[in-house]
A and B are shown apart, each in its own frame.
Chain A
């Protein structure tokens, strides 16, 4: 049962196609866990259909594509890609190819915490974090928005308990103090706006975890 969802503004932008790639990974991965938000996104896509219906007509040249079906269709091929990592929701499998969570190429960043950066084309930042159970992450404020999706294990903060599939959507300026629960490592997908002044400075990065 999912109790913590992303805020509606990013669900709406995801459905509309205005959300950057990093944030879209977070939303799509949450959808894998959350039937409620899947339904909401489906309904919002109907709104997109309505907007298309109402769009003005702008003349186009005649169709010039090839309608023969003999050509190999790359779209169909990519749909048949085998699910690689059964620990991860399908949107993340497009980015992480290791067979399971433990074989991910983790990088130690201090404080008992490991990270795995995910490469995206937008200016947001997406990464997986592995926090040992029971570890307290130092209290910290936020310089931007931060979306944290629990993939495995759980953590708690002033907003309650977060289990697999739950999302903590924390806005600018909020100070919080998450604690990974003692039920094993807590693996999270963390999306942040990436302010340039922090890039590459590891000690600051650790302070900004969660």
Chain B
């Protein structure tokens, strides 16, 4: 992935002064009027990192994926609307293009993208920056909404608090592969798939297509699509599990 794709050209002052938010009630306790606040006392999140991102945002510097993770984390702690506008500007246009790919019309794609971002705001307390990047977390929210709104199906999800679940053994912090390295590993794993397998994987994730839809789109027998997906799953699993 080109480094530029990770970044976006955002004039933060423009975002701030724009009418991105329709403030329904300026006396609402959740309205922040004096710029981003730094929550220094939050356990488990380094204050310096937050400070660093604040400076970058204030200076209008390009933001990386790391910055996005930190902005989402900070929003979950402080409910800062400026952070939301940063996330919206970055993710909503990308969500829209993914949703357009899955066959939705522009209006629906925009609606789902808007709704996904609203969910990001409402559920951000559930975001765990140790487990997933902002992109991954937002991808899962948008994926579920697309199934619900576009396909009109329910998404049966595993409840992470299911008492029957065997708790996963926590990996000690010093043995965890950090999110930036994980991104590189994931990108490599995808790029290292043979072309015919990479295409079916990308169609699955970019457009959320079923096996039959991939078969129709590529003009391949259903069995070929399935076996390519099986092979790519095996390669990805082995590759990712050995490195992450």
Q: Which residues of A approach B to under 8 Å, CB–CB?
A: 7-9, 11-13, 16-21, 24-25, 28-29, 31-33, 35, 38-40, 42-70, 73, 75-76, 83, 86, 89-92, 94-95, 120-122
Whether A48 contacts B140 by the Cβ 8 Å rule is yes
A174 to chain B, nearest CB (A): 13
How many angstroms from the CA of A89 to the CA of B84 in the assembled complex?
Answer: 35
Whether B230 contacts A62 by the Cβ 8 Å rule is no
Q: Does B48 contact A (CB under 8 A)?
A: no
Main secondary structure of the interface of A (DSSP, over half): helix
Q: Which residues of B approach A to under 8 Å, CB–CB?
A: 1, 5-6, 8, 18-22, 24-25, 28, 30, 65, 79, 81, 84-85, 88, 91-98, 100, 109-110, 113-115, 117-119, 121-123, 131-140, 142-144, 146-147, 151-159, 162-166, 168, 182-183, 186-187, 189-190, 201-202, 204-211, 213-214, 225-227, 229-230, 232-234, 236-237, 240-241, 244
Question: A17-B143, A47-B190, A59-B93 in contact; A54/B159 too (CB < 8 A)?
Answer: no
Instruction: Give 24 pairs: A residue, B residue, CB < 8 Å, sorted on A.
Output: A12-B204, A13-B210, A19-B210, A21-B155, A21-B156, A32-B158, A32-B162, A33-B164, A43-B237, A48-B139, A49-B132, A49-B135, A49-B138, A52-B94, A52-B135, A53-B5, A57-B97, A58-B94, A59-B96, A63-B114, A67-B21, A67-B81, A68-B24, A122-B153
B207's nearest neighbour on chain A, judged by CB, is A18
Number of A-B contacts (CB under 8 A): 239
Chain A residues whose CB sits within 8 angstroms of the CB of B140 once the complex forms: 45, 48
Main secondary structure of the interface of B (DSSP, over half): helix
Chain A residues whose CB sits within 8 angstroms of the CB of B134 once the complex forms: 49
For the complex of A and B, list the 10 residue pairs with the smallest distance between their C-beta atoms, beginning with the closest: A8-B233, A49-B136, A49-B135, A9-B229, A17-B143, A90-B159, A16-B204, A91-B156, A58-B97, A48-B139
